[in-house]
Amino acid sequence: MLAACKFIRNLEIFKKIMNQPMFETRGRDAVKPRLLIIGVRGQLGYDCAQAFNPDFSVTGLSSAELDLSFTEKIRAAVLHCQPEVIINCAAYTQVDNCENEKEKAELINSVAPAHMAATAKEIGARLVHISTDYVFSGDKPLPKGYSETDKVDPVSVYGRSKLAGETAIINSGCEHIIVRTAWLYGINGHNFLKTMLRLALSEPTTERKIVADQFGCLTWSQSLARQLLKLVAGGSRGLYHGVGEGAASWYEVAEYFLKLMEVEHQLIPCATAEYPTPARRPANSILINRRLKDEDILVMRPWREDLKLFVENYRQALLDEARAAISAT
């Protein structure tokens, strides 16, 4: 019940921001094109459901409703909905766990998208697939970033599984849009910013080391959802990068966010070597929105601008959620 109340409250805030009606998960308007969102309860799926609702009849499936590890169920779910457009927001994104669960990573991140693509081609639907900065090695010298035409060279199981998903979709021959994004955050679900807030509130005087030598592009899921709508509505095809404009380190992001939140904190910059993890992280995860700019369809804004707006609209909801999580431990 509490989760449902939080979901509705966040919808109401989103409605005020976007000045548009709250979505129904399964629209009944036969005039509108049918849209299927896979992974609707995640950060991006949540925002896509609302961003697309005015112009599409939206059906959303959560991981509980469609478990992508059972790939045989994918075709049946898509055929049941008969969508004109499919947006796949679902993935196995626990990067470190992927190193020990290679089979699960491949199943969800590459085999499942291949099944979606095959079914999309069968019914003439367009597949919008979300990919990642982890398809690159991260070895490009800073401050240079990666564009859509740069050579891919993943250095982790997660990155390789996501690249395999991209390849399967391209080779399927279905109409598709693949959007690589990075460092995603939103009001729904878990993310780095929420973790930083919870830690700062629980122990405000404790010094915490935050990695300062990994650089990427912080991306608000709401802005990315609006960008996806622009791509779909404009009939775009192919591979794009879609991230917040500008780059920063994890340390810079955490510092800026907690200052905006007006929360006491003690952060110390550190090197990646001081924070060892099972999976190698790209030191340079900077993506360039080159195609979006070249085609004059860029919706993404500077990451600081987006983060400031995010806090302005969701500050109290973020604090309430973090305090509830602390109380529950």
Distance between CA atoms of 3 and 158, rounded to whole angstroms? 29
The answer to whether residue 158 is catalytic is yes
Q: Which residues make beta-bridge pairs with 245?
A: 302
Q: Choosing from 158, 185, 251, 314, which is the catalytic residue? A: 158
**CB–CB of 55/78 below 8 Å?**
no
Angle ∠(35,37,43) on CA atoms, nearest 5:
140
Distance between CA atoms of 329 and 327, rounded to whole angstroms? 6
Q: Is the dihedral of CA 1, 223, 232, 230 positive or negative?
A: positive
C-alpha distances in Å from residue 78, one per residue of 18, 33, 44, 100, 178: 29, 14, 19, 30, 19
In one-letter notation, the amino acid at residue 82 is Q
Cα distance from N-terminal residue to C-terminal residue, the chain: 19
Distance between CA atoms of 276 and 268, rounded to whole angstroms? 16
- Residues known to be catalytic: 158
